[in-house]
């Protein structure tokens, strides 16, 4: 379940596809090993594609 806030709350409807992004703060050592990921889900939230 997702909750829309702000302007998106006025435009979004059930069934819309969403782009969800996360942000994190890393120190220099963590940054060396961090690998961002992209994951695509189907309409039932099952992983259909993943990339590193």
pTM of the model: 0.57
- Listed by start position, the domains of the chain span 14-51
Alpha helix segments (H runs only) across 1-52: 7-11, 28-33
CA-wise closest residue to 18 among 30, 36, 4, 7 = 4
Coil, strand, or helix at residue 43?
coil
Please name the helix (run of DSSP H) or strand (run of DSSP E) that holds residue 6, with its range, or none: none
Write the pLDDT tens digit of every residue in 5-43: 898 888 988 888 888 888 999 999 999 999 988 999 988
Does residue 4 have a pLDDT over 80?
Answer: yes
């Amino acid at each position: 379940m997702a909750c829309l806030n702000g302007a998106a709350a006025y435009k979004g409807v059930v069934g819309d596809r969403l782009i969800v992004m996360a942000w994190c703060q890393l120190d220099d050592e963590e940054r060396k090993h961090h690998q961002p990921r992209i994951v695509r889900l189907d309409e039932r939230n099952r992983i259909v594609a993943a990339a590193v």
